[in-house]
């Protein structure tokens, strides 16, 4: 990882101290931290965007405290940046200009789960996996499953509009959030959305706030809708001689009217990296798909997987392995989960991109990425949620001396993604990592409109500054 | 219907004439109409909100023309209000202050349907039913099915975030719109969203614009995602002795982990009104549910309906009738469709409300509505999408002399809806019809925030004026 830690100390320590003093009567000791270790920990996330330690970290335990913190920061002109589990992949929670990091991690209660209403009400610090388990214990299902579900928090999922493999059938975070208690940048608290599944009263501010990457305010309470837990889930691994065969099979399966809940692609580089790590691929395997279907009867799911197998065979698949029990199913998903660490083992450095193309362009983007890798002398590994066109394209490299080449590869990757009608981020967000690339996809007038909208909500400009939008864009 | 047509002539005819002149070089003859018949037709919709004829109706045929019309209206200070099929139920497209009605009905081409990408691109004037048929012919499915699908247009569905019976399983318009070409109130054209299924680059302006009821701009191109057409659909009618039994069965079915695509309730008044109109209910029938499931195999769907039947029997159901073929299925849905005209036949006047309560409160709201009807001496009939808590509660009355009583009943109905954690509109929008009730549900600060947001997008205040928000709200 090439990390940049050179943050100019922009915030006057006096101002930060004044924020701390203003909050002294609101917070308990231990809720305001300025020790070096804490500052260092809250200056990084799971992106490759660098280290930006805040000047203080504050741990509110109530909505009123969040509101007071925002008000104090605005009053004293100190930047403030909300964070959750710091598992973000685009730098969205990095305090770029220092100031106060506002961690929601202590607000971590599931307030209620209603089996009859199919809803849950929770605080933003609830770990996504804890919510999943709690509702599944009651026969309900919260489908969005970001890869980091074991440690990421729901507040972060809301901020980033997190997705995951099941998005193919079930959609993303935004599709499940129906109501929010929301602290606006000036500290005002509003309740937006509703407690019912349906409702159209007023503007859809829930839709606007979900995915706003911590720049329009922060959720202090989240109401989600749930669905009945599917009674049966079946998983299969389909092995192909080449990644293009596999990519074409993805389109063919969907065009045949089958909507699996997951349809994950593993390309040749990724497959070689994981081969033998708890799972051995047959010889000649050059790519694989993990297909997962769910529904009410095992029989009809087996029939569905059998149709998937037939379609894949027509596209050249060598083999379809159906997991017959939970332990076999777990083994197939272990293959998917080990990809990222296995690729890291291939080369000292790895950068992962999160792109989406229209599904029909998957074979083309994979071919183009391979050609680009060959041209630049870099290894490119592609895997991910091929069913909805969302690919994680990884560039593997030897060391910092190759970084300019890697940056060129990243730029070309995003240019070709947009060129194919795609988007530069499917589920990780723009944050810091991609703000300079947003203009590849969005017109200057649209970027300008969004900047103005940000200023509408945050005239102070102090909430999570310099994220999402490029440094300088002029409208025509 | 009690209609109010007394609109003060607020717009100076000179100004309207100047807009017409400014557009003369942009429009062909016949695209600008000021004859009395046209003005009268564009002054009403399917709501009970009155008649508000515009001063001119314009029929743009391109995005550039829409943009030019908006610019001309702003330049000359003339109010302008977009409309589609004028099938709205909340008065959203009524030109309250006169001025120019901008009908998008001539922009009615389906531009493309992609089987591989599962997307379609279309103009706003496309009739929803035409889109449904066109994609179904290719094995694809556009699920949102507002009752008016045979004549409403997609632009109106976007403006109102239209729902329908299938929303229970498949969601509403907002869940399918992924990209928009959008003309802002000042005439600027932006493209928001994307062509891919997934994507999180920038703020979710698509989410904000869908459901903005023609107050933040208008869609000139709509990109929707589609899903594979379910291969099998089965429909059943379940007959109950009383509406409370039926309401409790709705909760029990969902709590058992079954998610039908439709779960429609018919109460005793509605049932008596439709009985004998092409379908005869068994004696002792006091309520009914229409249950529709879809999936991949008929066998598993029959099994699912059989479980539904068992659960309903436990709640007191007398009988479950499964439609064995398409003509029987059609017969069951005809029962649902005839409710509204059949109720109209019971009394000279009818007002239909569109409320939503958390599903668990359905029995309670139905009891309360009946009690209220008894107290006020009005007939209340309730039916609708009980599966997601969205009920259409109808008040039947004799004539204009009862209107004050009806208005009191409406007010009480909305108060009790909000009191039970519900929302005043599930799918029809606030528009004109409910703007004075929004404050029952939303705090003054939230209404004020939305008003300011409206001004952010439309500083002129000329686009579809005086909709959604109450006449006067002061923030605390």
Q: Would you tell me which residues 47-106 of chain B have a C-beta closer than 8 angstroms to some C-beta of chain A?
A: none
**How many helical (H) and strand (E) elements, i.e. helices and strands, does chain A have?**
16, 18
Q: Which residue has the tokens 């300011």?
A: B452
B190 forms beta bridges with: B182
Determine whether the interchain pair B210/A204 forms a contact, defined as Cβ–Cβ distance below 8 Å.
Answer: yes
Residues A74 and A460 sit within 8 Å (Cβ to Cβ): yes
Tell me the pLDDT tens digit for each residue of A281-306: 998 999 999 999 998 788 889 999 99
**Which residues of B fall within a CB distance of 8 Å from A203?**
208, 211-212, 216, 450, 453-454, 468
Q: Compute CA A326 distance to the chain's CA centroid, rounded to the nearest angstrom.
A: 27
Burial class (CB in 10 A: 0-12, 13-18, 19+), A203: buried
Hey, what's the torsion of the CAs at A265, A269, A275, A281, to 10 degrees? 60
Residues B268 and B244 sit within 8 Å (Cβ to Cβ): no
Domain ranges within chain A, ordered by starting residue: 2-106+455-475, 232-340, 347-438
- Considering only CB atoms, B360 lies closest to which of A114, A172, A452, namely A114
Question: In the Cβ-directed half-sphere of B395, how many Cα atoms lie within 13 Å?
Answer: 29
A240 forms beta bridges with: A287
Measured at the CA of A224, the angle between CA A222 and CA A225, to 5 degrees, comes to 165
pTM here is 0.95
- Report H helices in A315-361: 326-337, 339-346
- Report H helices in A325-402: 326-337, 339-346, 362-376
Task: Give A113→chain B minimum CA distance, Å.
Answer: 12
Determine whether the interchain pair A259/B227 forms a contact, defined as Cβ–Cβ distance below 8 Å.
Answer: yes
B428 touches chain A (CB under 8 A): yes
Taking domain B232-340, whether its CATH number is 3.30.70.2190 is answered by: yes
Q: What is the C-alpha separation between A447 and A433, in angstroms, rounded?
A: 16
Tell me the pLDDT tens digit for each residue of B110-156: 999 999 899 999 999 999 999 999 999 999 999 999 999 999 999 99
Determine whether the interchain pair A295/B299 forms a contact, defined as Cβ–Cβ distance below 8 Å.
Answer: no
State the pLDDT at residue A278.
84
Q: What is the C-alpha separation between B165 and B173, in angstroms, rounded?
A: 12
Edge to edge, the sheet with strand A100-103 lists A32-33, A56-58, A100-103, A80-83
Determine whether the interchain pair B438/A118 forms a contact, defined as Cβ–Cβ distance below 8 Å.
Answer: no
State the pLDDT at residue B295.
87
Q: What is the C-alpha separation between B469 and B448, in angstroms, rounded?
A: 9
Tell me the pLDDT tens digit for each residue of A200-210: 999 999 999 99
Residues B181 and B220 sit within 8 Å (Cβ to Cβ): yes
Residue of B nearest to A229 (CA): B257
Q: What is the C-alpha separation between B174 and B158, in angstroms, rounded?
A: 7
- Considering only CB atoms, A203 lies closest to which of B212, B297, B427, namely B212
Residues A78 and A11 sit within 8 Å (Cβ to Cβ): yes
Residue of A nearest to B169 (CA): A227
Same fold? A2-106+455-475, A347-438: no
Residues B243 and B267 sit within 8 Å (Cβ to Cβ): yes
- Considering only CB atoms, A199 lies closest to which of B116, B119, B425, namely B425
Residues of chain B with pLDDT below 50 are 1-6, 473-476
Q: Compute CA B279 distance to the chain's CA centroid, rounded to the nearest angstrom.
A: 27
Residue A397 predicted with pLDDT over 60? yes
> CATH second-level architecture of B2-106+455-475?
2-Layer Sandwich (3.30)
CB atoms within 10 A of CB B256: 14
A426 touches chain B (CB under 8 A): yes
Question: Left, alpha or beta for A48 (phi > 0: left; psi -120 to 50: alpha)?
Answer: alpha
Sign of the alpha-carbon dihedral angle for B324, B325, B326, B331: negative
Average the pLDDT over A367-393 and give the result: 94
- Considering only CB atoms, B167 lies closest to which of A198, A300, A303, namely A198
**Which residues of A fall within a CB distance of 8 Å from B184?**
449
Q: Are strands A177-183 and B262-266 parallel, antiparallel or unpaired?
A: unpaired
- Considering only CB atoms, B192 lies closest to which of A389, A426, A446, namely A446
How many beta-carbon pairs below 8 A join chains A and B?
A: 276
Determine whether the interchain pair A201/B430 forms a contact, defined as Cβ–Cβ distance below 8 Å.
Answer: yes
Task: Give A17→chain B minimum CA distance, Å.
Answer: 31
Burial class (CB in 10 A: 0-12, 13-18, 19+), B476: exposed
CA-closest candidate to residue B288, choices B231, B337, B236, B363: B236
Average the pLDDT over A167-188 and give the result: 97
Look up residue B58 and give its two tokens: 């314009």
Tell me the pLDDT tens digit for each residue of A79-134: 999 999 999 999 999 999 999 999 999 999 999 999 989 999 999 999 999 999 99
Task: Give A34→chain B minimum CA distance, Å.
Answer: 32
Residues B124 and B463 sit within 8 Å (Cβ to Cβ): no
> CATH second-level architecture of A347-438?
2-Layer Sandwich (3.30)
Residue B310 makes CB contacts below 8 A (sequence gap 6+) with none
Element (H, E) at A409: helix A403-419
State the pLDDT at residue B85.
97
Q: Would you tell me which residues 207-266 of chain A have a C-beta closer than 8 angstroms to some C-beta of chain B?
A: 207-208, 210-212, 216, 227-229, 231, 251, 254-259
Going by pLDDT thresholds of 50, 70 and 90, the confidence category of residue A3 is very low
State the pLDDT at residue B327.
94
**Which residues of A fall within a CB distance of 8 Å from B167?**
198
Burial class (CB in 10 A: 0-12, 13-18, 19+), B137: exposed
State the pLDDT at residue B9.
53
Determine whether the interchain pair A359/B443 forms a contact, defined as Cβ–Cβ distance below 8 Å.
Answer: no
Q: What is the C-alpha separation between A278 and A264, in angstroms, rounded?
A: 18
Which of B182, B200, B263 should we substitute to test contact with A (largest number of A Cβ atoms within 10 Å)?
B200
Residue A110 makes CB contacts below 8 A (sequence gap 6+) with A120, A121, A122, A123, A126, A130, A131, A134
**Which residues of B fall within a CB distance of 8 Å from A204?**
161, 174, 207-208, 210-212
Question: HEC string of chain B?
Answer: CCCCCCCCCCCCHHHHHHHHHHHCCCCCCCCEECCHHHHHHCCCCCCCCCCCCCCEEECCCCHHHHHHHHHHHHHHCCCEEEECCCCCCCCCCCCCCCCEEEECCCCCCEEEEECCCCEEEECCCCEHHHHHHHHHCCCEECCCCCCCCCCCEHHHHHHHCCCCCCHHHHCCHHHCEEEEEEECCCCCEEEEECCCCCCCCCCCHHHHHCCCCCCCCEEEEEEEECEECCCEEEEEEEEECCHHHHHHHHHHHHHCCCCCCEEEEECHHHHHHHCCCCCCCCCCCCEEEEEEEEECCHHHHHHHHHHHHHHHHHCCCCEEEECCCHHHHHHHHHHHHCHHHHHHHHCCEEEEEEEECCHHHHHHHHHHHHHHHHHHCCEEEEEEEHHHCEEEEEEEECCHHHHHHHHHHHHHHHHHHHHCCCECCCCCCCCCCCHHHHHHHCCHHHHHHHHHHHHHHCCCCCECCCCCCCCCCCCC
Hey, what's the torsion of the CAs at B46, B47, B52, B55, to 10 degrees? -40
Residue of B nearest to A467 (CA): B202
State the pLDDT at residue A2.
37
B110 forms beta bridges with: B122
Residue A476 predicted with pLDDT over 70? no
Q: Would you tell me which residues 141-160 of chain A have a C-beta closer than 8 angstroms to some C-beta of chain B?
A: 160
Residue A8 predicted with pLDDT over 90? no
State the pLDDT at residue B472.
62
Burial class (CB in 10 A: 0-12, 13-18, 19+), A325: exposed
> What would you measure as the largest C-alpha separation in chain B, in angstroms?
70
A294 touches chain B (CB under 8 A): no
A385 touches chain B (CB under 8 A): yes
**Which residues of A fall within a CB distance of 8 Å from B302?**
none
Edge to edge, the sheet with strand B287-295 lists B319-322, B232-240, B287-295, B262-266, B379-385, B390-397, B349-356
Look up residue A84 and give its two tokens: 């959750």
Write phi, then psi, for B129 (nearest 5 degrees): -65, -35
> What would you measure as the largest C-alpha separation in chain A, in angstroms?
70
A444 touches chain B (CB under 8 A): no
CA-closest candidate to residue B354, choices B215, B214, B160: B160
């Amino acid at each position: 990882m090439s990390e940049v830690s050179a943050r100019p100390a922009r915030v006057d320590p006096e101002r930060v101290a004044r924020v701390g003093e203003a909050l002294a009567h609101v917070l308990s000791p231990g809720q305001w931290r300025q020790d070096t270790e804490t500052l260092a920990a809250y200056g990084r996330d799971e992106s490759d965007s660098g280290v930006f330690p805040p000047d203080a970290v504050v741990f509110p335990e109530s909505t009123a405290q969040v509101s007071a913190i925002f008000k104090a920061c605005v009053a004293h002109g100190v930047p403030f940046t909300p964070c959750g589990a710091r598992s973000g992949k685009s730098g969205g929670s990095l305090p770029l200009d220092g100031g106060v990091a506002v961690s929601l991690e202590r607000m971590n209660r599931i307030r209620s789960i209603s089996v009859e209403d199919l809803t849950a009400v929770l605080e933003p610090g609830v770990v996504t996996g804890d919510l999943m388990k709690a509702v599944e214990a009651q026969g309900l299902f919260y489908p969005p499953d970001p890869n980091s579900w074991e440690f990421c928090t729901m507040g972060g999922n809301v901020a980033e509009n997190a997705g995951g493999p099941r998005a193919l059938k079930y959609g993303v975070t935004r599709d499940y959030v129906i109501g929010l208690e929301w602290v606006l940048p000036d500290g005002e608290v509003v309740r937006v959305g509703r407690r019912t599944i349906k409702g159209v009263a007023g503007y859809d501010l829930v839709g606007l706030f979900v995915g706003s990457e911590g720049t329009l305010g922060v959720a202090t309470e989240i109401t989600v809708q749930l669905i009945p837990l599917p009674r049966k889930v079946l998983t299969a691994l389909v092995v192909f001689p080449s990644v293009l065969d596999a990519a074409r099979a993805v389109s063919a399966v969907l065009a045949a009217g089958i909507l699996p809940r997951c349809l994950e692609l593993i390309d040749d580089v990724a497959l070689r990296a994981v081969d033998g790590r708890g799972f051995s691929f047959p010889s000649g395997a050059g790519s694989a798909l993990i297909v997962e279907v769910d529904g009410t009867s095992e029989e009809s799911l087996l029939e569905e997987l059998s149709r998937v197998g037939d379609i894949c065979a027509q596209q050249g698949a060598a083999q379809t392995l159906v997991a017959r029990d939970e332990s076999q199913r777990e083994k197939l998903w272990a293959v998917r989960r080990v990809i990222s660490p296995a690729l890291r083992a291939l080369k000292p450095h790895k950068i992962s991109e999160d792109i989406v193309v229209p599904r029909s362009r998957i074979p083309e983007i994979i071919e183009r990425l391979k050609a680009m890798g060959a041209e630049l002398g870099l290894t490119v590994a592609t895997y991910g949620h091929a069913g909805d066109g969302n690919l994680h394209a990884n560039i593997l490299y030897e060391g910092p001396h190759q970084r300019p080449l890697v940056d060129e590869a990243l730029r070309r990757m995003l240019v070709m993604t947009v060129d194919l009608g795609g988007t530069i981020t499917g589920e990780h967000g723009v944050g810091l990592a991609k703000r300079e690339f947003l203009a590849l996809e969005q017109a200057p007038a649209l970027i300008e409109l969004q900047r103005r909208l940000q200023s509408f909500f945050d005239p102070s400009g102090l909430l999570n500054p310099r994220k999402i939008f490029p440094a300088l864009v002029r409208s025509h």
